[in-house]
A and B are shown apart, each in its own frame.
Chain A
Amino acid sequence: MADIQSNSSATHGKSISRRSTRVDLTPMVDLGFLLITFFVFTSSMKQPTVMQVDMPYDKVIDPTPVCTSCVLTVMLDKDDRILYYEGALENHPVVKETGYSADGIRKVLIEKKHAVQLARGRADAFILIIKPSDESNFKNFVDMVDEVTINNIKRYYMDELSNADKQLLAAQKPVLQ
């Protein structure tokens, strides 16, 4: 189309070849859709979400006594392991181990919640205490709080490991390895 007619004699009369101005747009359409596909696939649609964390105002200690049997203590250990026991440590409860899978901690929480519901008549008497160890990671903590949301647990507390708990973790390790 951009040919330059060098032959001057061709300028007179009929001999100019009339080419169609139509361009085949098929390759351009192909290119267009290719680019669309590329942009659609590379752009990440998902926006990050946020999880609200409210810390208790712990300068005032709530003196309300809680029922010992309603408490489940969960200790987040290293290597994505969870150790948990029911009730108070003074009563020498059985310490069990579980993991973060759906069959692991979620099942434990559902069963405990159900047991509290049966014993106390209301499920919100259930109290969960989460004690992350120094070797647990941030994901473990978020997963655990997520589990609380998933199972609709109304009362949970974050706590530090006590010395007795630390001994318990240390005592568990050689057996489980």
Chain B
Amino acid sequence: MGRAKLPRKSTNIDMTAMCDVAFLLLSFFILATKTKPPEAVAVLPPSSVSTRVAKEEAIMVTLTKDGKVFLMLGDKAHKDAIIEDINSSRQLNLTPAEMAKLKKLDFIGVPLNMLKGSLDLSEPIKPENMPGIPCGDSTNNELVDWVRSVSNSYKGESLENLNLCVKGDNLAKYPAYKNIKSAFKKNDIFKFKVVTNPEGVPADSELARNPPAPAK
């Protein structure tokens, strides 16, 4: 009795379909990843168990580990309003060209008296060489003026829209943060957010047993 003959199949597989899938996935991942928003300087924020996701285009106060303060002014409309406001309130006498240049900057990291000069430079100052916005004790706290302009630009809107964030470095000293806080307080802003990295909730803690309702 003869054995049933097994058909010999070729071991070559058509790779076209697999290739299609690979490149489809590739293009999906490339298109789906968002590029990081520009950052003033590298800052390593502390981690927290908070699960609220940071909204985009926030008014971001960045505090570096050497205590320098940088400011990012959020979305275009408010940014323009804030810059107009600080120009008139602090009599910076910026020319329209300088104003346009300032509105294009991603962040502000120079004192007000240097602002005009720094805009006229042909080559912009490197972020790591910027002195930061003076935010010392009550005598020299220009952040108060900036935050005043920020709150003016949100006038007539609900304060819920004001997405004010502080992004501090792990190693920033506490007094520097305290000065930022007092600048907010002087402008009657009592609510703000601290940018953190997500971190797992420790098991067997009270928070793990009663997780909070997810924030909107």
Contact = CB atoms under 8 A, between A and B. Distances in A.
Given A29-B19, A49-B198, A151-B207, A54 B170 contact: no
Interface of A: 24-26, 28-29, 32-33, 35-36, 39-40, 43, 46-57, 76, 102, 106, 110, 132-143, 145-146, 149-152
Given A25-B16, A135-B174, 17 more contacts: A28-B22, A33-B22, A39-B29, A47-B54, A47-B198, A48-B45, A49-B51, A49-B54, A49-B197, A51-B193, A57-B190, A136-B173, A138-B169, A142-B194, A142-B196, A150-B207, A152-B210
Given A28-B15, A29-B18, A150-B207, A51 B174 contact: no
A55 B177 CA distance: 13
B168 to A, nearest CB: 4
Interface in B155-173: 165-166, 168-173
A36 B22 contact: yes
B205 interface: yes
A139 B167 CA distance: 11
Where chain B touches its partner, the secondary structure class is mixed
Contact of A43 (B14, B33, B51, B176): B33
Contacts of B199: 146
Interface residues of B, number: 56
Nearest to B203: A102
Contacts of B30: 39
Interface of B: 14-16, 18-19, 22-23, 25-26, 29-30, 33, 45-55, 63, 165-166, 168-178, 181, 184-185, 190-199, 201-202, 205-207, 210
A136 B174 CA distance: 6
B67 to A, nearest CB: 10
A138 B190 contact: no
Contacts of B170: 137-139
Contacts of A35: 26
Given A138-B168, A138-B170, A36 B193 contact: no
